[in-house]
Amino acid sequence: AQKITQTQPGMFVQEKEAVTLDCTYDTSDPSYGLFWYKQPSSGEMIFLIYQGSYDQQNATEGRYSLNFQKARKSANLVISASQLGDSAMYFCAMENSNYQLIWGAGTKLIIKP
Amino acid sequence: DTGVSQDPRHKITKRGQNVTFRCDPISEHNRLYWYRQTLGQGPEFLTYFQNEAQLEKSRLLSDRFSAERPKGSFSTLEIQRTEQGDSAMYLCASSLVLAGEQETQYFGPGTRLLVL
């Protein structure tokens, strides 16, 4: 069965520090995509970063980078130089062969000033 | 470019009433998705459309739920005879799928439904 696991229900991080949010996945599909979304308290899901299963390099988008370890089936999100506005829920998701996104339970990140 | 919009943003209804939500995708996006999200959980897939065709429905989508995308643009999600368990955030997302290219779903702000 396809599954996304986020083992950190919540995290507190000091402003300006880097933070790593964990995500492991389980799939038998040879081709898949991994996504990270941010959901502030307003509710909107904001796309952050994408990693394809065949991509050779780790994805980066500004302060976001994805530490993709295919053999370990992990796709951790790294946020560098955290800011107060980064406080939100963060979801890891995997697109399966039916174009459905399978979601983790999320990690609540709180940035402390 | 106006992102995905959803209306209403909030809906409170009494058990047994029917409700309808609307989603306007990003223009020219050919795929449209509906998800349901309850507190403390990630979204759950409900259904999706490729243009006007509904291609996939989750078993979560009971016969009280129906979705349409009549002209391949906006979509509606109707819940008949609402139950308290239907209380959730209903999220809509759209994407542009082109052969050989990565698909990214962009989400609207959601509709929060409370069934009393």
Cβ-Cβ contacts under 8 Å, B7 against chain A: none
Question: Distance, in angstroms, between B110 CA and closest chain A CA?
Answer: 6
Q: How far apart are CA B60 and CA B45, in angstroms?
A: 8
pLDDT of A1 above 90: no
Give the pLDDT of residue B101. 75
pLDDT at B1 over 70: no
The two beta strands, A64-69 and A74-79, are: antiparallel
Taking only the tens place, the pLDDT of each residue in A56-99 is 899 999 999 999 999 999 999 999 999 999 999 999 999 987 77
Q: For residue A100, which residues of chain B lie inside 8 Å, CB to CB? A: 45, 48, 56
Enumerate residues 6+ apart whose C-beta is below 8 A from B62: none
Q: Which of B89, B105, B110 sits opposite A101 (nearest CB)?
A: B105
Q: Which positions ≥6 away from B41 have C-beta within 8 Å?
A: A105, A106
pLDDT of A103 > 90? The answer is yes
Which residues on chain A are in Cβ contact (under 8 Å) with B45?
Answer: 100-102
Q: B102 at the A interface (CB within 8 A)?
A: yes
Residue among A23, A45, A95 with most chain B CBs within 10 A, to mutate: A45
Q: Could you give the CA distance from residue B69 to residue B63 in angstroms, rounded to a whole number?
A: 17
Is B105 within 8 Å of A38 (Cβ atoms)?
no
